[in-house]
Structure 1
Amino acid sequence: MNLGSISILLAFVAILASAACYLALSLLPPPASRKPPGGPDEPPGLLALARFAFAVSLIMLVGASAQLMIQILKHDFSNAYVVEYTSRDLPLRYLISAFWAGQEGTFLLWAVLLGAIAMVAARTSREMEPPMMLFASLVEVCLISLMLARSPFAPTLGEVPPDGQGLNPLLENPWMAFHPPVLFLGFAASAIPFAYAMAALWRNDYSTWARKVTPWAALSFALLGAGISLGAYWAYTVLGWGGFWGWDPVENSSLVPWIFTAASLHALLVVRTKGTWQPTALLLCISSFLLVMYSTFLTRSGILSNFSVHSFSNMGISSHLVVWLAFFTVISLAGLLLRLGRIPRTREGQRALKATAASQESLLHWALVVLSLLGALIIAGTSAPIISGGLAALGHKVPALGRWLPSSASNVGTPYYARSTTPMAVLVAVLMALAPIFSWRDTRAKQVVRRVRGPIAAAVVSAVVAAVLGVRHPAMLMLIAFAVMALVANGAVLVRSPLRVHRLGSYLTHVGVALLLVGAVSSTMYGTTTKLVLPINKPVAAQGYAITYRGMRPAPPGGRPTMEIYFTNGHGGSFTATPVVFTSRQGQTVTEPYVRKFPLHDLYISPSGPPEATDANRVVLTQGKDQDVAGYTLRFVKFAAGSMSGNSIRVGVQVAVRHNGQVETLVPALTVESSGTRTSEAATTKDGRLQLQIAGISAEEHAVMLSVAGSAVSPSSSTEAAAIELGTKPLINAVWLGTLLVVLGGLLTIYRRGKELRQWEDAQLTAAVPERAPSAVA
């Protein structure tokens, strides 16, 4: 057993000891008050021992992390983890990032971050420390036990190789240094609200937990939001997916806890302000953490390895994850059910008041409903392979039900998420727009009218502008209109109180979400994408540019080979795009897009693969998009009705051809025999100068490749050509600005609620110290 494995084992023993001490303390009657450590009343010996054991566990984890980093930097290939994720030619920055490239390393990172955060929380939790740290310690026990089952220090089997397999080329990016650590900080922070909620249930004391937990919930919200934002920007600018979100299970695994954390912050606001909604706030704080655990199970058990491009394969810990998920779920539900009848619905001495429709509390009620439903719809889609797989297994065991149940596990696609989340997004925008308009008490009609006029006017104008620009879908028009209404309504509050922005984190967050919604709708629904084949040194016209592929640039020292593509427009502007494309040492084709930023849109140039020798007179048409060829404008309209005859199938492609103001329709066709023989039927324009033949069809991408011939085009020759996707992303910058404001709003909330908590605790301590009687004067 090596030093790293010993450190993890000692960390496990120490955290078990800490949890046992905190359990013993939690079973004792709670003290009436507890002064901070170092005061005149020193903590009891058991509390000191619990803290010491927890600190030892963290020190051992930090030591194990240092040992793993040393092995990575020294290329110690006797460690299987080092072999799998590093190589001798990796630059230093990627060697460091390799620490969290694999499943074992991320568990170690998660455990270290949780230990550090929990120690800070312990110093500020005062009388709630024993039960709160008991449940935080249990989460740490879970993470360390997973490393005992799958150690980052497992030895290499057989002969030690001279070099490692290297890091996945997609992970060799500077964002790898920031995205995973920030996201796992958010996962670690989510355990603290859970621990506080369970501590309140354990003690059956709900007088202070909401005040104490709010800064930690805000921290989890801000960190998860930052991690999601970094991942989205990484996917957009580096991975070449053509967008920033793909509804992959790994993406959803951080999005759903973030949504439920946002809901918990709204519930905690009502608890602190009105004294109501205690059960709801407890449930949401617990649910946020349980969803982190469930998402960990989904993405790390291997159960989604056939349905996610990010999911880890089964590495022998799926049963451990199931056990821990079941454990935390059972103790949480048991605590809630046992205490439900004793949880106060109002503050002591206050009468329950029903919220009126025109009040902040009523809006917050609907916000919780909408956010919870949104999260549930997303997690249901993410869990579709499990649900459908379970139903399929039931159908196989009970044949009578088989005809009504799926035959195998299946996933849901982007259309499901679009249909299910769009109505929820509209409702979120509506509620954010109304939030600054209504007060905690019943708001008078005159106040509503005065506050709502400007936002409604902005919503109407934005809807009209969107319609003029081509937005026709009613749901998209509503989403844009209400998002702009929310932007104006919340922005007005910030403008009216520029010196109190630190107290307006929620309004800043609402502005960020509104910008995010507008940018997401614009960039994903109303951008354009054109597939192009660019023969070397031959300009191709598309989207207002003359585009010339000039060949490949060799990789500079420490860099990667790039295409050189020259863009010019009719206004004298020009630039050179340098998207990355190469074949990795593992034989994987790696591409990185080139993004040209403009104030109101991005131009997105993504290689489809390495340049190839191809027919210079071939063109790729995307359905509904125009492309100029030899003075003719071609548009792929639709696939013509196919037909089957004997052992062959025939399909045609309807292409609109515009030339000299005249439009005609050509229908080239392709017949495929059962033997694989293909026969292409050409179609020729009326002037006889242009002939089209089908060279390839992609029904999934609604695209067709045509060979063009005739006197209007130059003779064909084999030449190097680059295949790219050229896209526009309108208002994509609103997405990045929105995410930045959301995170900033979360940070301001941490500052404000943390300051309020300190002031409240100081006031409580001051009130607990009796006034000293004046001394007698002789």
Structure 2
Amino acid sequence: METKFLNEHLLPGQIGHFAAVLAFVASIVATIAYVCAVQLKDDLLRNSWKKIARVAFLVQVVAVFTVFFTLYHMISGHLFEYKYVWQHSSKSLEVKYLLSCFWEGQEGSFLLWSIWHCVLGTIVMFTSKSWEAPVMASLSLAQVFVASMILGIYILDYRVGSSPFVLMRNENADAPIFQMANYMTRLQDGNGLNPLLQNYWMVIHPPVLFLGFASTIIPFSFAFAGLWTKRYTEWVKPVLPWALFAAGILGLGIMMGAAWAYESLTFGGYWAWDPVENASLVPWLTLVAGIHTLLAYRSTGYSLKITYFFFFITFTLILYSSFLTKSGVLGQTSVHSFTDLGMNGQLLIYMFVFAIPAFWFLIAKRKAIPAPVREESTYSREFWLFVGSLVLLVSAIQICFTTSIPVWSKLPGLKDLAPPTEPELFYNKIQIWVAVVIGLLTAVTQYLKYKNTSKEFFVKKIWLPTVISLVITVAIIVGGKVYSSAYGPGFLFAIYLMMFASVYAVVANFAYIWIGSKGKLKASGASVAHVGFGLVLVGILISSSKKEVLSLDKMGILDGYFTKESKQNSRENLMLPKGMPVQMGDYYVTYEGDSTAPKDAKTYFIIRYEKKKSLNDVPTEKFTLYPDAFMNVKGQEGITPNPDSKHYWHKDVFTYITAVPKKDAPETDTIPFTPHKMSVGDTTYFSKGFIILDNLSPKPTNKNYVANKGEVALEAELRVLTKDDKQFTLRPVFALTDSTYAFNIPDTAQGMGLIVKLGKIVPEEKKVVIETKESGTITDYVVLKAYVFPAINVLWIGIIVMTIGFFMSAAQRRKSK
């Protein structure tokens, strides 16, 4: 007898699954109808098929949005009988993070992609006129594949997609809990959202990024339509606004991800050359390259074939990046890739179905694509636009090949191929030269005319921006004291060149707005985008090369504290006992406690910064940061932290918690002596205050030491400062007899349980070892890491300016069309 399960909500799942199937079928109908509308010769039949295609596409739009709202209802209603809801949400989750539950899972990310296809397709359908049918045929076909990813149905024993409407009991039928009719009484809460995704950036970053992914289908579809309908040149004018929009929104989405990493991840920055980051960057590079060759073609007739190539390869790389991030192949090399859901075959078929016909068409019809036979002048704009596009392509190839090493290593004969052990160094040493070339070309190319430019005209226009850029570059290098690099003098020279190229791009394009465009800002979208790009390069260079670690543990107090798996450098972390100011660069930093809030799973740590020269001085500046962490695992490293930053116009003070004490660790009354290697002037601390080594004297005054003949002694003068502003001096002694017998005379702080002794002398380092012991351990503290990122706001401003420039250009081109 079939078990009747109680308190289940089956209707939402049934509606959602029906809508998913309907979207899939309607997309197939729309694709077939649009293909017929292109292929048929009779106008009446073509119009009939176009009407059918429109109806079918709009039906799938309604179906996709039905899937979306149904899934939102299930997540917000905590219907944990559904596996997707249980996996990605919980009752304790804040309302603002409910949408993040959609894109934590693969099914939700494909649904988001499909939604943007619906929006973009509807716009194309009603604005593209004669291009509607061939362009929408490709877009509808893309919808077929994306819709198939959330089907979760079996066709000939092969599961197509993964449905977000699967019941827990159907996926885990053998589990004892699902043998009970009232299992819902036991299923009271979900697994919860990944703590890294509980950040406001993860509410807005994925939708923007997936809009960028989805929008690359439009340039692809226009290019394919041009070959398909033999209108080899007509497509370039309507496609340009779409290409500019796609580049702007994709670039914005990528850098929103960088902002999320900066605020939520703890690798100390905004870009770590993570494979998932690279996978989204590569198609943006090729898309930007395609835009520039398209501009060259529109003015000169050159570079049309390679423009086809760039638009085809961009969408292909979008699909390839989706395969990389969703197949699980990057699971060992990326901090934020998906796990394998068994859809690798579907993803590869999706990619090949689009890539193979497109490139085959391009090869087959290459002779029909018009191309001038005359030679280009090296003093022409189109020549250097082409060169710049090739440089971007080389950059994309290098990044893509290295990112794909986990794929190559699965091929026969390449099993020993391994990703770089230091990815930042590996990529930076190559990509810095790409940045130099692109920065220089961004600066000078707009001063060249199409077809040919006289040398006198070019020099007359470019000399002043060049001189200004040189002066600014020297000022930045000297003022910022950029005199060394961890990678050696060769890399330092490259930094200088990149600094000049970046400043040059900003200055030259800013000047071009007034020289070339005569101050007409609305017509200067390209220059605005180039100014933003230059600012991005300047911000990246300064913030990376001059990043300063504030939390230096000079005393080695945390040596051995972290495990190898934590990947933390103990010398770049500081322990802050509660209520005790600790010097950190120009600041004295105090951990004042922690706090929690209702329905917020995070613990907020209160860290007060005071800028002053010494502990007793009046601070010239003070502020409080609230880095937080999910205390989701017991143990000193069982936390998932989120940073907090103090923002200035010229820098950020960036802080995050790396460890907290074990709450279940037993307290002990005594601990062994702890050694601290110190020079005169150094400071260490104990549970109730600071210990400062003020002096070393060969004439001890400690009353407990009596000098004997032949002995050599050394006394340490230690100033002890307590949290309640008490101050006293301890004088431990280290002595050596004629027979080389060494002994210590410790000193004790009465009433504080503090014992100090002078352990030994380290003459080669000009240091001594001070050993401390007290009757209680420090049980309330945090360990944190802090950086200073100079000029970080230049990067963020550059991103905003560049995005505005892209959108200005898109609007301008749309208006002219």
In which range does the TM-score fall when normalised by the shorter chain? 0.7 to 0.9
Q: Give how far 1:475 is off.
A: 0.3
For the residues of structure 1 that align with 2:191 and 2:634, how far apart are their CA atoms? 8
Instruction: Give the alignment partner of residue 582 of structure 1, picking from 603, 625, 630.
Output: 630
How do 1:288-437 and structure 2 match up within 5 A?
Answer: 288-346=314-372, 352-390=373-411, 393-394=412-413, 406=416, 413-437=423-447
Checking the alignment, whether the CA contact within 8 Å between 1:593 and 1:604 is kept in structure 2 is: yes
For 2:55, the equivalent position in structure 1 comes to 52
Instruction: Give the alignment partner of residue 734 of structure 1, picking from 777, 794, 811.
Output: 794
How do 1:86-101 and structure 2 match up within 5 A?
Answer: 86-101=89-104
Instruction: Give the secondary structure class of the aligned counterpart of 1:491.
Output: helix
For 1:643, the equivalent position in structure 2 comes to none
> Please, what is the CA RMSD of the aligned residues?
2.9
Is structure 2 residue 511 aligned with structure 1 residue 492? yes
Q: Output the amino acid matched with 1:573.
A: E
Is structure 2 residue 537 aligned with structure 1 residue 460? no
Is structure 2 residue 285 aligned with structure 1 residue 259? yes
How do 1:196-345 and structure 2 match up within 5 A?
Answer: 196-345=222-371
For 2:732, the equivalent position in structure 1 comes to none
User: Relative to 1, partners in 2 of residues 1:211 and 1:419: Cα closer, same or farther, differing over 3 Å?
Assistant: same
For the residues of structure 2 that align with 1:682 and 1:413, how far apart are their CA atoms? 43
Which range is displaced more, 682-691 or 441-450?
A: 682-691
1:683-723 Cα offsets, whole Å, 9 max, x none, are 6356999644xxxxxxxxxxxxxxx537xx99985343221
For the residues of structure 2 that align with 1:255 and 1:619, how far apart are their CA atoms? 49
Q: Give how far 1:29 is off.
A: 4.2
For 2:488, the equivalent position in structure 1 comes to none
Q: Output the amino acid matched with 1:96.
A: L
User: Relative to 1, partners in 2 of residues 1:270 and 1:690: Cα closer, same or farther, differing over 3 Å?
Assistant: closer
Q: Output the amino acid matched with 2:379.
A: A
List, as ranges, runs of 4+ consecutive aligned residues in structure 1 with deviation greater than 6 Å: 407-412, 613-621, 687-690, 713-716
Is structure 2 residue 594 aligned with structure 1 residue 552? yes
Is structure 2 residue 455 aligned with structure 1 residue 445? yes
Q: Give how far 1:442 is off.
A: 2.4
For 1:770, the equivalent position in structure 2 comes to none
Instruction: Give the alignment partner of residue 720 of structure 1, picking from 780, 785, 799.
Output: 780
Q: Give how far 1:446 is off.
A: 2.6
How do 1:53-68 and structure 2 match up within 5 A?
Answer: 53-68=56-71
User: Relative to 1, partners in 2 of residues 1:206 and 1:592: Cα closer, same or farther, differing over 3 Å?
Assistant: same
Q: Output the amino acid matched with 1:566.
A: R
For the residues of structure 2 that align with 1:540 and 1:585, how far apart are their CA atoms? 27
For 1:513, the equivalent position in structure 2 comes to 533
Instruction: Give the secondary structure class of the aligned counterpart of 1:340.
Output: coil
User: Relative to 1, partners in 2 of residues 1:277 and 1:470: Cα closer, same or farther, differing over 3 Å?
Assistant: closer
For the residues of structure 2 that align with 1:96 and 1:107, how far apart are their CA atoms? 14
For the residues of structure 2 that align with 1:619 and 1:356, how far apart are their CA atoms? 72
Checking the alignment, whether the CA contact within 8 Å between 1:107 and 1:143 is kept in structure 2 is: yes
1:9-45 Cα offsets, whole Å, 9 max, x none, are 11111111111111112222497xxxxxxxxx99721
1:464-495 Cα offsets, whole Å, 9 max, x none, are 23442124400001000111011100011234
For the residues of structure 2 that align with 1:90 and 1:114, how far apart are their CA atoms? 29
User: Relative to 1, partners in 2 of residues 1:384 and 1:82: Cα closer, same or farther, differing over 3 Å?
Assistant: same
Instruction: Give the secondary structure class of the aligned counterpart of 1:296.
Output: helix
Q: Give how far 1:617 is off.
A: 9.7
For the residues of structure 2 that align with 1:30 and 1:575, how far apart are their CA atoms? 74
For 1:773, the equivalent position in structure 2 comes to none
1:409-460 Cα offsets, whole Å, 9 max, x none, are 8777222211221111111111011123222242222322222222222332
Q: Output the amino acid matched with 1:286.
A: F
For the residues of structure 2 that align with 1:411 and 1:6, how far apart are their CA atoms? 48
Which range is displaced more, 536-545 or 242-251?
A: 536-545
Which range is displaced more, 108-117 or 718-727?
A: 718-727
For the residues of structure 2 that align with 1:252 and 1:269, how far apart are their CA atoms? 26
Q: Which runs of 5+ in 2 are unaligned?
A: 1-12, 152-160, 179-183, 485-491, 552-572, 613-618, 685-690, 695-718, 720-757
Q: Give how far 1:502 is off.
A: 2.1
Q: Give how far 1:528 is off.
A: 1.0
For the residues of structure 1 that align with 2:672 and 2:539, how far apart are their CA atoms? 38
For 1:109, the equivalent position in structure 2 comes to 112
Checking the alignment, whether the CA contact within 8 Å between 1:84 and 1:164 is kept in structure 2 is: yes
Is structure 2 residue 579 aligned with structure 1 residue 537? yes
User: Relative to 1, partners in 2 of residues 1:461 and 1:11: Cα closer, same or farther, differing over 3 Å?
Assistant: same
User: Relative to 1, partners in 2 of residues 1:719 and 1:442: Cα closer, same or farther, differing over 3 Å?
Assistant: same
For the residues of structure 1 that align with 2:545 and 2:297, how far apart are their CA atoms? 39
For the residues of structure 2 that align with 1:618 and 1:42, how far apart are their CA atoms? 89
For 2:742, the equivalent position in structure 1 comes to none
Q: Which runs of 5+ in 1 are unaligned?
A: 32-40, 347-351, 396-404, 634-658, 660-680, 693-707, 758-778
User: Relative to 1, partners in 2 of residues 1:102 and 1:27: Cα closer, same or farther, differing over 3 Å?
Assistant: same
Checking the alignment, whether the CA contact within 8 Å between 1:533 and 1:724 is kept in structure 2 is: yes
User: Relative to 1, partners in 2 of residues 1:617 and 1:691: Cα closer, same or farther, differing over 3 Å?
Assistant: farther
Instruction: Give the alignment partner of residue 123 of structure 2, picking from 120, 123, 131.
Output: 120
Checking the alignment, whether the CA contact within 8 Å between 1:77 and 1:163 is kept in structure 2 is: yes
For the residues of structure 2 that align with 1:616 and 1:721, how far apart are their CA atoms? 19
Which range is displaced more, 162-171 or 587-596?
A: 587-596
Q: Output the amino acid matched with 2:591.
A: Y
For the residues of structure 2 that align with 1:490 and 1:408, how far apart are their CA atoms? 41
Identity percentage of aligned residues: 30
For the residues of structure 1 that align with 2:410 and 2:759, how far apart are their CA atoms? 47
For the residues of structure 2 that align with 1:682 and 1:281, how far apart are their CA atoms? 73
How do 1:547-696 and structure 2 match up within 5 A?
Answer: 547-555=589-597, 558=600, 560-570=602-612, 572-584=620-632, 589-611=639-661, 629=684, 630-631=691-692, 684-685=761-762, 691-692=768-769
For the residues of structure 2 that align with 1:683 and 1:232, how far apart are their CA atoms? 49
For the residues of structure 1 that align with 2:342 and 2:264, how far apart are their CA atoms? 31
User: Relative to 1, partners in 2 of residues 1:576 and 1:61: Cα closer, same or farther, differing over 3 Å?
Assistant: same
For 2:164, the equivalent position in structure 1 comes to 152
